[in-house]
Structure 1
Amino acid sequence: MTKTNNKQIAVVGTGVIGVGWIVRFLAHGYDVVATDPAEGAEQKLREGVAHAWPYMERMGLAEGASQDRLRFEADLKEAVRDAVFVQENVPEREGLKRQVLADIDASTDRETVIASSTSGITPSTLQQDCAHPERIIVGHPFNPVYLLPLVEIVGGEHTSQEMIDKASDIYKAIAMKPLVIQKEVEGHVADRLMEALWREALHIVNDGVATTEEVDAAITYGAGLRWAQMGPFLTFHLAGGDEGMKHMLKQFGPALKLPWTKLEAPELTDELKDKVIEGTEQSAGNKPVQELEKQRNEFLVRLLDLVEEYWPEPQTILQNEQK
């Protein structure tokens, strides 16, 4: 199998995450072939791309970038056949993902990198049915993919370092910040951290300590502002004063023994569901989701410029790349 276009990407699955990948690749001058068996998928995809495109124009398009470089192909094998890189985004069901990845593996050149956007399944599990498992990696992004730069790269038991390196290079070419995870674990890194916060937030609402709006405010006007520039470790490093983390651990380390947090998720009762749903809808007011998404995107475009100004290259990512 001979590739004639070294900038042809295939995206399998065109839901919210798939559309985000497509927009990002198109905006950086790539040709994209998309496939999805759902009825009306192509029309919905093109509407999604058009909706996100103005934000990419504001961020800056690569030379030759165009929505016209998107092609929809109903047949999976035909869609991935000539791709140098395949990004899979089918629903988060292990059996389905394994079957789709095996089909992609059987239909592409052995030099093609095959990445899954899975948020929780390990690559060693995903590559079990593939004839060439060394090509299978996790490439887990964050919504909206076309704006947020982090992508977690995770290799499985049989993944080759060459494929991890190739994936990292491709993601960097579309202005992403690849974080190579050194050890595979369910949920990877970022989602495990967010899940822990989500569990605690549910407990706080369930126990009547605070409403959903108040929990959101606690993050929005507190930790969230700091986390946009620094993660938890550097944030606590500054909390230690002149001695940094050394003093912080000495001063506040004993508090870790106190039962402030609950690691187990609360039972998702009807009462808790009602509290979460009603509280969230009240916070949203009468604004539809699309309007809230627009506000979020406008905020992220401006915030990303500030983040890049103050923290152009997160040190942890650089250190992982040098290993």
Structure 2
Amino acid sequence: MSAAQSGRTVTVIGAGTIGLGWIALFLGHGLRVRVNSRRPDAPRVVAEGLELFAPYLPEGSADPAGFGERLEFEPDLERAVAGASVIVENAPENLALKQELFERIGKAAAPEALILSSTSTLSPDDMGARMADSSRLVVGHPFNPPHVVPLVEVVAGERTSPEAVAEAVAFFESVSRVPVVLRKPILAFAANRLQSALLRESVHLVREGVVSLEELDRVVTHSIGLRWATVGPFLAFHLGGGHGGLRKWLGTLGSGLERGWEQLGRPPMDQETIDSLIGQAERAYGGSSYEELVRERDARQTAILRVLAEVSAAGAAGGGAAPEGAGTV
């Protein structure tokens, strides 16, 4: 826990899945967290979420036994954001709702407060359209679960100040995340577009009976999932070209990429497809509770991050290069 975090207050708006992950992560890094939620049972929901998530927080996180001393609940939005250094919004993906929220936040928050949104689709300019000054509003889109997966996509609008972007990057780095600033706004940002492309072909392969839903998951986790945990797609194919690198790969195996892309599926998400996917998912994973599946997911992802950090540290000590994606957790 960094001493620099002591006494700093972050207001988290929303106590859904993403909000709960942020709450756990921020408390683990010594921040004071003020939760704003319309749910009357928010204290219970947060307590259950912390119990579920705390074991998988980054190495060196604060003792969960002391979380309660730095956690408070304020259902009134204006009081919740007043005096906060950072405000993190996690409301549903409803533009009108977010515009109303940010209009109110802009009036009640301190002028120097950093205002962040976890949105996965909306731009800061659109969300802040009703604010008198939206220059402090920045998208900080996490990849679920935010208390485990390091990536945060940082997205600015035309009205966003460069200083706010720099502050957002520094804030996410201070809580052991890996921020990547998108160079231009694009619908659904980068990570979700990659995920969506893979999901489309996954649905196609299952719908066509090539593999079952459960088998498709095994294909990914035992091949490209494992590969991408250590190297990105471009480095993977750069290595695939041997000593000739990406230049050689694109000139040989990669020369037919466009023909291969033309053969990718475009499955209709009709009721038959939806029913089939749901049925297969329930047969494959319905024997475990949500909590059991979350613990297994987070335990595995945390183990991977821990090993990557160890490899990175050993490489730095020995003067060798660390694998891409290996970071401090």
Both structures adopt the same fold (TM-score exceeding 0.5): yes
Deviation at 1:283, TM superposition (A): 2.0
Contact 2:311-2:326 within 8 A present in 1 as well: no
Q: 2 CA distance for matches of 1:119 and 1:48?
A: 22
Q: 2 CA distance for matches of 1:48 and 1:193?
A: 28
Deviates more, 1:236-245 or 1:37-46: 37-46
Change (3 A) 1:8 1:265: farther
Runs of 4+ deviating beyond 6 Å: 312-318
- Equivalent residue for 2:151? 150
Contact 1:77-1:107 within 8 A present in 2 as well: yes
Residue type at the aligned position of 1:103: R
Q: 2 CA distance for matches of 1:24 and 1:194?
A: 24
- Equivalent residue for 2:196? 195
Change (3 A) 1:264 1:114: farther
Q: For each residue in 1:74-117, what CA deviation from the matched residue of structure 2 results, as whole angstroms up to 9, or x when unmatched?
A: 10100010101100000111111111111111111111111100
Deviation at 1:249, TM superposition (A): 0.9
Residue type at the aligned position of 1:61: S
Deviation at 1:166, TM superposition (A): 0.8
- Equivalent residue for 1:35? 36
- Equivalent residue for 2:297? 296
Deviates more, 1:126-135 or 1:28-37: 126-135
- Equivalent residue for 1:271? 272
Change (3 A) 1:262 1:280: farther
Partner of 2:181, secondary structure, is strand
- Equivalent residue for 1:183? 184
- Equivalent residue for 1:128? 129
- Equivalent residue for 2:248? 247
- Equivalent residue for 1:168? 169
Count matched residues. Answer: 313
Q: 2 CA distance for matches of 1:176 and 1:72?
A: 25
Q: 2 CA distance for matches of 1:123 and 1:90?
A: 14
- Equivalent residue for 2:3? none
- Equivalent residue for 2:215? 214
- Equivalent residue for 2:92? 91
Q: Which runs of 5+ in 1 are unaligned?
A: 319-323
Contact 1:85-1:112 within 8 A present in 2 as well: yes
Contact 2:230-2:324 within 8 A present in 1 as well: no
TM-score using structure 2 length:
0.89
Q: 2 CA distance for matches of 1:94 and 1:179?
A: 24
Q: For each residue in 1:219-266, what CA deviation from the matched residue of structure 2 results, as whole angstroms up to 9, or x when unmatched?
A: 111100000011101111111111111111111333122144567852
Partner of 1:92, secondary structure, is coil
- Equivalent residue for 1:321? none
- Equivalent residue for 2:59? 59
- Equivalent residue for 2:235? 234
Q: 2 CA distance for matches of 1:171 and 1:63?
A: 20
Contact 1:123-1:137 within 8 A present in 2 as well: yes
Change (3 A) 1:219 1:265: same
Contact 1:9-1:83 within 8 A present in 2 as well: yes
Q: 1 CA distance for matches of 2:110 and 2:286?
A: 50
Identical-pair percentage: 36
Deviates more, 1:136-145 or 1:282-291: 282-291
Q: For each residue in 1:282-311, what CA deviation from the matched residue of structure 2 results, as whole angstroms up to 9, or x when unmatched?
A: 221511121111111111121111222345
Q: 2 CA distance for matches of 1:314 and 1:10?
A: 35
Residue type at the aligned position of 1:77: E
Contact 2:143-2:151 within 8 A present in 1 as well: yes
Q: For each residue in 1:175-224, what CA deviation from the matched residue of structure 2 results, as whole angstroms up to 9, or x when unmatched?
A: 11111111111111101100111111111122222211121111111100
